[in-house]
Every structure is written in C-alpha cells, then in structure tokens.
Amino acid sequence: MISDAQLILGFSRHLTAYSMSAVHAELETLRFAGQVYEMAWRLRNAQVSSPERVRAIGIEAKIGPLDLERYVLPVMEQLGWVQCDRHPEGNLVSVSAFIPPDTELLAATERLLSILLVTPVQRAALQIMRATSVQPLERQAALQAGSGNGDEAAERALSCLTTVNLVREVLGEDGRAVVFNPNIWIGDDQMATAALRTEDARVQREVGALIEEIVASPGIPEEHVTSTEQRWIDFAVSAGLVERSQVVAASDKKFLFTPHLHRDPFGTDPRDPSGHIRQLVGSMIYASTFASWKLNSPGAFLYVLIRDGEAGQHERIAQDYAMLETAGTIEVVGDGRDARMRLLQADVAEQALKIIDSRGRTASGANTTFAGIGEQRSYNHLERERAQIANTVVMDDADSRRFMSALRDTTARRNF
C-alpha cells in the first residue's frame, strides 16, 4: 500500500524545507536515503550524462555537488543503479544510468537502508509513520508499531515526527492521546474518536487490513472484500475510517473508499511517487494559461512528444528549458533553431497527457511557442511546500545562465 520508498522520498523533501536542528540531524540518514531516490527518479532513461549535467540536476534537487559525488553517487553504484567513470586522479568523467523500473525501485528500500546503516530511531520513525498513515492510533498503539527497535527508540521517533509535523498527537475527551497523520486523516476530534474506538488490537488489525485492501483497489465492491468480515466493514464506516457509496439499481451495490484515494503520507497523490507527473502537468498548464507567450495546445504538444520521442526545433529550447530537464523528464538536444526536446520518461508524459485530456481544451492565445515553458525556472514538490519552516532562494539571471550551460548535455560538448 504505502511503500517505504515513498515514505523515504517524502521524508527527504519535507526535511529539506527545515533549518538544521537536533531533530533534523537525528533523521538525517532518512533525508540522505531520499536524495538517493530523488536522483534515481531524475536519471531514469538518461543513459550517459556529463558530470555538469548530473551536478545541475542535483543542485535543483537540493543536493550539493560534494554530497552528490562523495555520498549519493557511490551509494547508487553499490545498488547497481549507476556507473561512474572517473579519471585516475578521481575526477568524475561521466555517469551511466541503469535505473530499474519503478516497481524494483520501490522494492529496494531495505537494501538501501542496510547500506546506510540507519539507526533504530530512524527505522522506528518509518514504522510509526506508516502505521499512523494507515489509520489513527491510540498513542501506545503507535509506539507499539515502532517498538521492534526498542521502546526508547520508538518514543524518540514519535517525538521527532511530531516536531516536524509529520504526525499529530491530540488528546481525547478522556485524556488519552491519539496519534495520526494530518495529511491523510483530517479533523482532530473525529480522528481521536475513531482511534479510541479501534484501540483494541483485534479491531486495529481487522480495520487496518480492510483499509489496506481498499487503498489497493479504490472503489472495491463491498461484496468483494476478502480481508475481513462484514461487521468490521460496518464498524470502519461508522467510525469514519472508510467511506461507503451505493449505486441504486435493480440490485443495489455498495462500494468502498478511503481518504488515501487522493492523499499519501505527505499529502500527495500515491499514484505519482516521484511527483514528476504533477510537475509536467503544472508545466503544461502554466504554459497554456499564464505565460507571456502561450502554448496553444499542451495536449497536442505532449502527444507529439510521446509519439515521436522529440518535439520542438525552436531556439528558446536551447536558451532556457530548465525545470523539466532537471527533473529528468526530457533532455535538450541540438543548438539554436535546431534545438529540440527529447522525451526520457514516457510513462510520466503519458500519465500527464491523461490528466491534460481530462481537463478538456486548455489552449488560449495566438502564439504556439515554447517560451512559456522556458520561463519556468524551478519546481517545489508538494512535500516541501507543506513543510512549515521553508526558505526559498530564487536564482538570478546569471545563475540561471550558468545552470543552463551545465545542463546542456549534447554530444558536441562531451569530452569523455
């Protein structure tokens, strides 16, 4: 349902918005693990990249060149995700990407955590985060979820998660504390009531299994549920943990949903673990709606990009096409008026096109150019936006030009 890889990537993005503190330092290894996943998603299908291009992608992902080359890339090499070619003196020459499919990435979490030697507190934090995302829990039940790493580690992990606003702890009317993920379960009073009603271990197990089955198949017919009995379905609905709808016809049918349908532990869509689908959709809608030179038909543009693998031939592409390139979604090839964008992550573009098509025609304006996309300098993923103590540093034009120069990873400029 909720993979550790998604938890780790969200942790990392969330923590980058915070000033360094004792809590931030205590969770630092999880942030680093998220940076490994961040680079993996951005380098998918990139084949061979120059060190300048990889560094530019890292900088946009809030990973400094020193951390990238000394720590992130070596760990990715251990995992078999990249191969770094270096000069005899150690300078990076090129990076070849061998990033596995998403399913394998999501399943590689334990290997990554073992390589990084994560602490008991950090493991407990992941476990408590996962448990309180599935359903609201009475405080002792939440601690029990992380107690396999020691009671003291579980207590400290819960304190850290509360400090960085990834879980919320509230008191019920009887004075008992309840812990839940505020990005999924909304409403302190309702969540406290629901958690205390499911305090019994048997109830938690039955309701938790039901919620996981529904999250895996949103809208599942009630009669198809295999994880638990009808009485627990009725109980979960009455507690507000499961939503039930009914289609009235000759034979009435009931269907089950949970709030997880459109929210993951960081308030984002669980069907887009890397966040790059949202980023591409936002890029297209911006270009067709707000840009000074509007893109007439973002849907048609994406369709051509998917069909042909390339689109463009416009000098603006060579000048400033940063945001989607640092995401690893596209790469720019050619120069001047022959500059064009090459699609690297077709699955991201295909899902984005479905969303664009569902909006209907978003075109407006008379000019079909790529300037509107070029105006887009950077993107803040939702996990980082939701963190409350965020600092944003905007690049000036000179920084942007240097950034673009580093990203231009064409054959003519390589000297491997």
Q: Using pLDDT thresholds of 50, 70 and 90, give the confidence band for residue 360.
A: low
- The secondary structure of residue 48, as a DSSP letter, is E
Q: Are 145 and 128 in contact (CB under 8 A)?
A: yes
Grade residue 176 by pLDDT with cuts at 50, 70 and 90: confident
C-beta atoms surrounding 42 within 10 Å = 24
Cα 297–chain centre separation? 27
Residue 403 has pLDDT above 70, yes or no: no
Provide the greatest CA pair distance for the chain.
77
Write down the pLDDT at residue 153.
94
Please name which of 305, 354, 330 lies closest in space to residue 407, comparing C-alpha atoms: 330
For 27-119, where are the alpha helices, taking DSSP H only? 28-43, 51-60, 65-67, 73-78, 102-107, 109-116
Which of 21-30, 302-311, 313-322 bottoms out in mean pLDDT, i.e. has the lowest? Answer: 313-322
Find all residues with CB under 8 Å of 354, minimum gap 6, and list them: none
The DSSP code for 264 is: -
Q: Distance between CA 241 and CA 25 in Å, rounded?
A: 34
Q: 352: which 2 tokens?
A: 């984005």
**Mean of pLDDT over the chain:** 78
Surface-to-core class of residue 16, CB atoms within 10 Å of its CB (0-12 exposed, 13-18 middle, 19+ buried): buried
What pLDDT is attached to residue 95? Answer: 94
Most confident segment among 71-80, 226-235, 292-301: 71-80
- Confirm if 45 and 110 have CB atoms less than 8 A apart: no
Cβ pair 57, 326 in contact under 8 A: yes
Is residue 108 helix, strand or coil? coil
Contact (CB, 8 A) for 281 and 355 = yes
Instruction: Give pLDDT, residue 389.
Output: 38
**Which is more confidently placed, 78 or 316?**
78
Residue count (the chain): 416
Separation in Å, CA 224 to CA 213, 220, 227, 232: 10, 7, 9, 14
pLDDT at 223 (0 to 100): 86
For range 340-348, the mean pLDDT? 84
pLDDT-based confidence at residue 391 (cuts at 50, 70, 90): very low
Query: 163 falls in which pLDDT band (50, 70, 90)?
Result: confident
Q: Residue 237 and residue 235: Cα distance in Å, rounded? A: 5
Once rounded to an integer, what is the mean pLDDT over residues 139-153? 93
Phi, psi of 8 (to 5 degrees): -65, -45
DSSP 382: H
Alpha-carbon dihedral angle through residues 15, 16, 19, 24, given to the nearest 10 degrees:
40
In CATH, the number for domain 4-116 is: 1.10.10
**Is the pLDDT score of 279 beyond 90?**
no
Q: Which residue has the higher pLDDT, 239 or 88?
A: 88
DSSP output for 308-371: HSEEE--HHHHH---HHHHTTSEEEES-GGG-EEEES-HHHHHHHHHHHHHT-----SS---SH
Q: In the β-sheet with 310-312, what is the strand arrangement from edge to edge?
A: 310-312, 340-343, 330-333
User: Residue 269: is its pLDDT beyond 70?
Assistant: no
> 390 φ, ψ to 5°?
-105, 145
All residues at 6 or more sequence positions from 377 whose CB lies less than 8 Å from its CB, including other chains: 322, 323, 394, 395, 400
Does the CA dihedral 60-63-68-74 come out positive or negative? Answer: negative
Range from 2-16, 78-92, 215-229, 295-309 carrying the lowest mean pLDDT: 2-16
Structural domain spans, the chain: 4-116, 120-261, 276-380
Please state, in angstroms and as integers, the Cα–Cα distance from residue 415 to each residue in 68, 241, 286, following that order: 21, 58, 36
Q: How far apart are CA 298 and CA 370, in angstroms?
A: 10
Range scoring the smallest mean pLDDT among 12-26, 82-96, 247-261: 247-261
More confident residue, 66 or 311: 66
Task: Show the CA angle centred on residue 296, arms to residues 333 and 377, nearest 5°.
Answer: 50
Residue 364's pLDDT is what? 37
In this prediction, residue 154 carries a pLDDT of 95
Q: Residue 270's pLDDT is what?
A: 52
> C-alpha 146: how far from its chain's center?
23
